[in-house]
Amino acid sequence: MVQAQALLKASLNAGRELLRPLTSADTSHDTEAQSGASHHPLALVPIRSIGPSERERVATHLIALAEHDRYLRFGYAASDEQVHRYVTGLDFERDDIFGIYNRKLELIAMAHLAFSVDPQRASCAEFGVSVLPHARGRGYGARLFDRAVMHSRNQGVTMVYIHALSENTPMLKIARNAGASVVRDGSESEAHLMLPPATLDTHVSEIVEHQFAEADYVVKTQTKRLHDFIAGVQEVRQGVRDARHPAP
């Protein structure tokens, strides 16, 4: 049974990790490799677990990717129809989808952690990710990878792998920074990251991060509702004004 003291310590560690200030140690790759996750200087990024009710948002995010980005993400320049087919086929029971939202609740970054159905790759999961162009370079890709790694460890996954085109420098950097080994095969590469087993810390950290992301989502939802309401009132006012003083 988990000791109350150990649980308290893990909870404190999780809170400290979530709120830690930025230090130069955050970019140390040695520590990253040991923990099986990268540590990008961004500490506070609410990453939410996405459910099947958000298929439309996922589709909107992927459709917003330009042809070359779709090529990098899927390995081919997926058409809108192929993207919709991919979204319809997402298995939210088996896999996990994580997302980062802006204030308008648009999905600006998302990751798909697909648990392997191949018996030769049992207890493995494949990671795929995309960040909208205007939100790149802020560490979202790396943070989504961290989140997926922690979740994978908690699910008993022993290896996360990524298929990427060899030209995809940012993706391969994220993988290498986390300690993954990358095998290049011509124009394609595969990165493998072996994961240490879950600990009480990883379980508690995931619960804390989940709660933080849910709270952030609730705040964003309410703020958006208020903005929409105010915009609606202003529109009605303008309509009344225009009716009173029609243009000559």
Ligand X SMILES: CC(C)(COP(=O)(O)OP(=O)(O)OC[C@H]1O[C@@H](n2cnc3c(N)ncnc32)[C@H](O)[C@@H]1OP(=O)(O)O)[C@@H](O)C(=O)NCCC(=O)NCCS
Contacting residues toward ligand X, per CB under 6 A: 40, 69, 72-73, 128-131, 136-142, 164, 168-171, 173-174, 177
Min dist CB 197 to ligand X, Å, is 26
Do the beta carbons of residue 86 and residue 147 sit within 8 Å? Answer: no
The smaller minimum CB distance to ligand X, of residues 137 and 156, is found at 137
The smaller minimum CB distance to ligand X, of residues 137 and 232, is found at 137
- Say which amino acid occupies 1: M
Min dist CB 8 to ligand X, Å, is 32
Distance CA 22, CA 42 (A): 8
The smaller minimum CB distance to ligand X, of residues 177 and 205, is found at 177
Min dist CB 135 to ligand X, Å, is 7
Distance CA 200, CA 94 (A): 23
The smaller minimum CB distance to ligand X, of residues 164 and 204, is found at 164
The smaller minimum CB distance to ligand X, of residues 161 and 200, is found at 161
CA dist 146 → 82, 98, 111 (Å):
28, 11, 11
Min dist CB 98 to ligand X, Å, is 12
- Say which amino acid occupies 16: R
The smaller minimum CB distance to ligand X, of residues 71 and 203, is found at 71
The smaller minimum CB distance to ligand X, of residues 152 and 168, is found at 168
Min dist CB 243 to ligand X, Å, is 47
Checking DSSP bridges between strand 159-165 and strand 124-131, what pairing results, if any?
A: parallel
Min dist CB 237 to ligand X, Å, is 41
Min dist CB 201 to ligand X, Å, is 23
Q: Which residue is nearest to ligand X (CB)?
A: 141
Q: Phi and psi (nearest 5°) for 70?
A: -65, -35
